Structure 1
Amino acid sequence: MLNRIIRLEAVVEIVVNKTGDTLMLIAKQNTKMRTALYQNRLALDYSLVQEGEVCGKFNFSNCFLEIDDEGKAVNELVKEIKKIAHVPVQTWNGIDLGGLWGERYGW
């Protein structure tokens, strides 16, 4: 039974680590997408500058582009999750009956 619990702990830790790695990759990808989006917006604004930028061209009244970059926050949360899920290496050494019976019977 204890071996199964130790194995389950290891599996949970592996799943948490893989999930954390995936979240970090997604956060990195989002940061790159945010940068590309801002670059495209800048190019579009530059192209349409004579017509009042994108907002003037399409008659948008509220035309501010603000995308927060939460990649660092995601990375910090992943580090905390991995730290919580980490289980030190454990091994099953069996039951030491020598200590229990040895004291009682002088072994």
Structure 2
Amino acid sequence: MTLWRSHLNVNGCKYTKSDILGALAVVIAKRNQKEARMADTGKDYISNSADPKNIQDLTSFVQNLLQQMQDKFQNMSDQIITRIDEMGNRIDDLEKNIADLMTQAGVDDRA
């Protein structure tokens, strides 16, 4: 991991300060909501091992969260590219079929 002035570089993927702050805000908001729910029901708060407890845990948690986001984004990107390739193949097949039909019908495709 390399920290740059304008972004954080994790495994070759760049995250801006706003990406990181947004992720931290979500983590803090969820933790605050959980604590509020526990206080409202009168139960003792039992910490979940996945909740960050100090700066190192928080850093590790955010890195893990960013890695998961990157993995999901990569998976979606791969699926989109595959679908675009499939659509391109279908279009090529359609063009070939149309050209064959025009040839069979004796239509000149030079308009």
With structure 2 as the length reference, what TM-score do the two structures score?
Answer: 0.47
Q: Which has the higher helix share?
A: 1
Larger Rg: 1
* Structure with more relative contact order (C-alpha pairs < 8 Å, separation 6 or more): 1
